[in-house]
Amino acid sequence: MEINFQKSKIPLLWLDTFFIIECGKSASDGKRDNRYMLLYDIVLEKTREEKIICPRAEQEEELEGNVESSMKKFLALTRGTKFNLCSQVYNIQLERIMSVFSQKTRSIDLLQSDVIEYPPKSTGKYFVSSYSVPSLEHYQKKRTEKEENIKELQDYKDTQDISMPFQERLNNEYAGIYLATIMLIKEGNTLKKMFNGEIPFDIKLYNQFDEFVNRPMQKWSEITGQSDIDSYLEFLHSEEFKSIPYIDISSHLIADMMTSTKKWDSGDPKDISNLSAYLPYSNFILTDKAQYNRIKRLGLDSKYKTEIYCMKNINELIERLEEI
C-alpha cells in the first residue's frame, strides 16, 4: 500500500523539548549559548515572516524548571500553531488505514492539516496562547511514573536476547498490539469477575482492555461495519497495519533500542512517541544525538522525506532555514 504525505508549501519545523529548556535557561540566567540563540533568532524571524511553521505539542508537561521563561520564548515561535497529541495523531492514522483495509484501497493521502491546529485568522498581529505551570506535586507524580515506566522497560529488556537479529525483533514489535490484544481478550472472564465484585478491581487491567480492545473495536465497527473480533485481529496482523507511520516508526525505534546494549533513558519513551507521531509530517526535526543517530541508521529520515538534525550539526539546520 502506498502512503502519500501531503506536506504543506510552508515547511514545518519540530523542536525537541531540550531546545526549549535551553532557551529558557538562557532567558532566566543571562547565559547565551550561541548555537541555541542563533537558531532561536532565525526561527523567530522565519515564523514571523510565515516562511516556516513551528508547532507546539503541550511541551510544558516535560519541563521541570524555568517553565514560564521557557514557554514564553517558545510560544513566540509557535504563533498559535499546535500539533495534536501523539495519541490523537496515531488514532487519525489508524482510522484512515482501517478504512483503506476495509475498502481494499491501494493508496492513501495523509495531510499535515489533519494533525496541526492553526490559530483563528487574526485581525491583528497578536496571537493568544496559554499554558499551565504544573504544581510540585504534579512534577513529583510524573517523575515517579516516569521512573516506574523506565524500570519496567529496562527489566523487560534485561530478559531479552539483544543478539536477536534486528529484522526478527522488528517483526516482534510490529506484532506487539496484535499479541497484546489477544492476551487481553483472554482476560475476559477476569474482567467479568471484577465487575461482579468477585475479585478486587484491577484498574490497570481495565485501562489496558479499554485502550487495546474496547475503544479500537468500537472504531473498527463504525468504520468497517464489522463487529467481530476476528476481522479486527486480521487487520492488526496485516501489512496495512504495519504501514501506519506511527506503528512503523515506533517499531523501528524500539527494535533498535532492544537490540542495542544501551539502557533505557528517562527521556526515550517520550522521544520515541514524539518522533513516531511528528516525523512524517515535519520537514525539519531537531532531536538529541541518540535519536538522531538511530533515525539516520534506520533510514527513517529518507523514508519519510524529513531532514533530521541534532546539536552536532545545528549549524547546518541554521543555514537551511536561512535559505528559506
The span from the first CA to the last CA of the chain, in angstroms, equals: 33
Q: What's the residue count for the chain?
A: 324
pLDDT at 23: 80
Q: Are strands 284-286 and 116-117 parallel, antiparallel or unpaired?
A: unpaired
Per-residue burial over 203-239, b if 16 or more Cβ lie within 10 Å, else e, is eeeeebbeebbeebbeebeebbeeeeeebbeebbbee
pLDDT at 21: 86
Q: Are strands 284-286 and 13-15 parallel, antiparallel or unpaired?
A: parallel
User: How confident is residue 138, by pLDDT bands cut at 50, 70 and 90?
Assistant: confident
Q: Answer whether 235's CB lies under 8 Å from 243's CB.
A: no
Q: Per-residue pLDDT tens for 7-64? A: 888 999 999 988 988 887 765 555 566 888 899 999 999 999 999 999 998 777 777 6
Give the integer Cα–Cα distance in Å for 229 and 235. 10
Beta bridge partners of 107: 2
pLDDT at 145: 86
Give the integer Cα–Cα distance in Å for 167 and 171. 6
pLDDT at 67: 77
Q: Per-residue pLDDT tens for 290-310? A: 999 999 999 999 999 999 999
Q: Cα angle at 19 between 17 and 25, to 5 degrees?
A: 105
Q: Per-residue pLDDT tens for 71-103? A: 888 999 999 899 999 999 999 999 999 999 999
Of 230 and 111, the one with more pLDDT:
230
DSSP structure string for 126-150: ----------HHHHHHHHHHHHHHH
Q: Which residue type does 226 have?
A: Q
Give the integer Cα–Cα distance in Å for 72 and 301. 30
pLDDT at 282: 95
The average pLDDT across 206-215 equals 95
Phi, psi of 159 (to 5 degrees): -90, -5
pLDDT at 237: 94
Whether pLDDT at 288 is above 60 = yes
Can you tell me whether residue 14 is helix, strand or coil?
A: strand
Mean model confidence pLDDT for the chain: 90
The C-alpha cell at 202 is 484491577
3-state per-residue secondary structure call for 179-234: HHHHHHHCCHHHHHHHHCCCCCCCHHHHHHHHHHHHHHHHHHHHHHCCCCHHHHHH
DSSP structure string for 57-75: -SGGGG--S-HHHHHHHHH
pLDDT at 73: 86
Angle of helix 17-29 relative to helix 67-78, nearest 10 degrees?
Answer: 120
The average pLDDT across 196-205 equals 94
E strand or H helix that includes residue 263: none
Count of Cβ atoms closer than 10 Å to residue 267 Cβ: 18
